[in-house]
Amino acid sequence: MPRKKILAIIFTVIVALGLSADARAEWEIGAKAGFDSNVNRSVNKEDSDFLMTAYVAYSRQASGETRVDWTLKAILEGTGYADYSDLNNAAATFSPGLSIFLNPQWSLNVSPFIQTKGVSDSDQSALVYGVRTTLKQKWTKKFYTGQYYIYTKNNANEDVYSYEENAVGVFAGLNWTDAFFTEVGYEYSHGDSYRTISTATAPTTPTGGRGYRHRFSSVYDAYVYSDKVDRSSISVNVGYDFTKSLFTQLGYTYIREEGDIDTLTYHTGFIGLGYRF
């Protein structure tokens, strides 16, 4: 199904949700300012960039009043880059889910998702789908932990930007007050990832029976190639609610990618302001 049709379907669903009444449903609008220390994913000439994201989201959470309940999340978002404007993009994501309360402290949620993403560099526009499974434990009124698995399949217009990935992660959080929380997390993933190299030499050594996919990109002014990558990341998030509706959140992530050819390390971060209603 074409991405434009999927985007239209997701938009129609979001509008329909907005016209419905559900006490467990919540709308959210917000904006985030962020940075990426290696936006071009270069192995030998890193470029950093700043970005801005605006979004509107709808979510329905499980009530906890029944052992089994359904959840739903839908997001429309757009992102603009200060220097790499060819990476400007808009995306729509739709993710229904099923929550099972194993006991009062343990819960399991399984949520398939589908996303359509349009990028100014149309080679990177993609249809994405996958599933996320999250197991969460609430140890006290303030302290919680969780573990998750995510499978992602990204089908981009240009094959070098397509990837398939399996990721597992753990997180732990503390609600210091009703308004203030902190959370730390670790994630490991394995799958395809694109890299750029600013020389005339692109990898051609076969791997997995199909060879390294590579091409020249005018966006990065470099060769782009696909590599098998083991990625590890450590993240820290802090949030504060000014009121029941107005909130802010800050996040930082350190990422290390070990590929068959090179190893990358880079940083991302953001500060955001949102409003729930």
DSSP 103-127: SSSEEEEEEEEEEEEEESSGGG-EE
pLDDT of residue 173 exceeding 50: yes
Residue 5's pLDDT is: 60
Q: Over the stretch 216-246, which tens digit does the pLDDT of each residue have? A: 999 999 999 999 999 999 999 999 999 999 9
- Residue 211 pLDDT level (bands cut at 50, 70, 90): very low
Q: What is the largest CA-CA distance in the chain?
A: 61
Average pLDDT, the chain: 90
Nearest alpha-carbon partner for 164 in 120, 199, 213: 213
Return the pLDDT at 215: 85
Q: Could you tell me the pLDDT band of residue 206, with boundaries at 50, 70 and 90?
A: very low
What average pLDDT score do residues 32-36 get?
98
Read off the pLDDT of residues 47-103 as tens digits, 9 standing for 90 and up. 999 999 999 999 999 887 889 999 999 999 999 999 999 999 999 999 999 999 999
What are the domain boundaries of the chain? 3-276
Residue 105 reports pLDDT greater than 80: yes
Place of tokens 């700043």: 50
DSSP letter at 148 equals E
Q: What is the predicted pLDDT for the residue at 209?
A: 41
DSSP 42: B
Neighbours of 273 (CB within 10 A): 14
Mean pLDDT of 252-271: 95
Is the pLDDT score of 123 beyond 90?
yes
Strand ranges (DSSP E) for the chain?
Answer: 25-36, 49-60, 68-81, 89-101, 106-119, 126-138, 143-156, 163-175, 180-197, 214-217, 222-241, 246-259, 263-276
Q: Is 3-276 in CATH node 2.40.160.40? A: yes
Query: Is the four-CA dihedral 224, 113, 94, 242 of positive or negative sign?
Result: negative
**pTM of the predicted structure, to 2 decimals:** 0.88
pLDDT per residue as tens digits for the range 130-158 = 999 999 999 999 999 999 999 999 999 99
pLDDT of residue 261: 81
